[in-house]
């Protein structure tokens, strides 16, 4: 049995899980009178696949939006890489190395797959506006470097065949994959996936699971994902947070969570007698 409280440990399949990269402390988020998240704390460790699960309306997506800066919580602290996050805009969070996908897919529909993935490199591009306009040599060299990285990711996610296709024409499952590619292109320190398997058929779900595992394994990317499909999550993740009605009702390895009475009640319902 591995000691999960240690500074770092090696999982059964040989991946190294490091120290805490992101910590949420007593987060509370309200929309007017509705409390979407109530006093939740948890951490994400470097190199792990961390899942947040819960029934519909549990506040999972809100939590992901807090992490990615789209929502600012009323109470609590967000710590990333040992630093407390000040009030921040989503684009600033992205520049810190946190990439994300969206539940309802937010791609640039009019642009090609390649261009979409290239936008993921924007935070990594150094050349300024004037230099791009006047000094073509350097800008061009930089563009080529980024293209190489992007092509690698495109190969990795097996979307070479549709590189030049406008995203608007792709089927749903492929769009999800392109969105993942764009997030990966930023070489993020933390990758947030909002329901990566939502609305997919069994085959697409299997593909996506494989890609998530491969990304984590190959690039060592820390992943935090949201799902309501329990089965998928249990196979994928190292540790799981369970939310229900905005509260945290469980936190631990998939096995621990599976045997947690509060979790079973939340998912299967409980007899009121």
Binding site for another protein (CB under 8 A): 68, 70, 89-92, 94-95, 99-100, 102, 106-111, 115, 118-120, 122-123, 125, 127, 129, 132-133, 139, 143, 182-183, 186
- Minimum CB separation from another protein for residue 10, in Å? 32
Report the alpha-carbon distance of residue 65 to residue 85 in Å, rounded: 14
**At its nearest, how many Å lie between another protein and the CB of residue 134?**
11
Beta bridge partners of 206: none
Distance CA 226, CA 193 (A): 6
Cβ(221)–Cβ(215) under 8 Å? yes
Quick one: 63 or 232, whose CB is closer to another protein? 63
Q: Which residues, 6 or more positions from 201, have their beta carbon under 8 angstroms from its beta carbon? A: 173
The β-bridge partners of 193 are 225
Residue 44's φ and ψ, nearest 5 degrees, are -125, 130
Q: Measured from the CB of residue 9, what is the shortest distance to another protein in angstroms? A: 32
Q: How far is the CB of 118 from another protein (least distance, A)?
A: 6
Find tokens 């492929």 and name the residue.
174
Which residue, 46, 142, 61, 74, is CA-closest to 103? 61
Query: 């979409």: which residue's tokens?
Result: 116
Q: How far is the CB of 108 from another protein (least distance, A)?
A: 4
Instruction: For residue 231, count CB atoms less than 10 angstroms from its CB and return exposed for 0-12, middle for 13-18, buried for 19 or more.
Output: exposed
4 vs 111 by CB, closer to another protein: 111
Give min distance, CB of 42 to another protein, in A: 22
> Is the CB of 98 or the CB of 200 nearer to another protein?
98
**In this structure, what token pair is assigned to residue 143?**
């563009």
Cβ contacts of 17 within 8 Å, gap of 6 or more: 8, 9, 10, 11, 45, 46, 47, 48, 238
Q: Which is nearer to another protein, 18 or 90 (CB)?
A: 90
Closer Cβ to another protein, 117 or 230, answer by number: 117
């Amino acid at each position: 049995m591995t000691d999960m409280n240690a500074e770092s440990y090696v999982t059964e399949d040989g991946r190294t899980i490091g120290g805490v990269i992101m910590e949420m402390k007593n987060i509370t988020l309200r929309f007017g009178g509705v409390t979407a998240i109530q006093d939740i704390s948890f951490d994400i460790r470097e190199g792990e696949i961390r899942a947040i699960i819960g029934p519909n309306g549990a506040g999972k997506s809100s939590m992901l939006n807090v992490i990615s800066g789209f929502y600012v919580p009323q109470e609590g602290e967000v710590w990333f890489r040992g630093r407390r996050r000040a009030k921040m805009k989503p684009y600033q969070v992205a520049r810190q190395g946190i990439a994300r996908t969206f539940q309802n897919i937010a791609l640039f529909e009019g642009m090609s797959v390649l261009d979409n993935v290239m936008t993921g490199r924007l935070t990594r591009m150094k050349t300024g506006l004037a230099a791009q306009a006047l000094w073509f040599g350097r800008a061009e060299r930089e563009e080529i470097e980024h293209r190489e990285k992007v092509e690698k990711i495109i190969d990795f996610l097996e979307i070479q065949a549709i590189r030049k296709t406008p995203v608007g024409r792709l089927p749903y499952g492929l769009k999800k994959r392109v969105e993942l590619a764009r997030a990966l292109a930023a070489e993020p320190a933390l990758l947030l996936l909002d329901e990566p398997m939502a609305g997919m058929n069994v085959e697409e779900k299997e593909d996506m699971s494989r890609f998530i595992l491969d990304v984590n394994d190959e690039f060592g990317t820390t992943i935090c994902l949201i799902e309501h499909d329990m089965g998928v999550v249990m196979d994928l993740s190292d540790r799981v947070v369970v939310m229900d009605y905005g509260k945290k009702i469980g936190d631990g390895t998939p096995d621990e969570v599976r045997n947690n009475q509060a979790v079973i009640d939340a998912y299967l319902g409980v007899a009121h007698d």
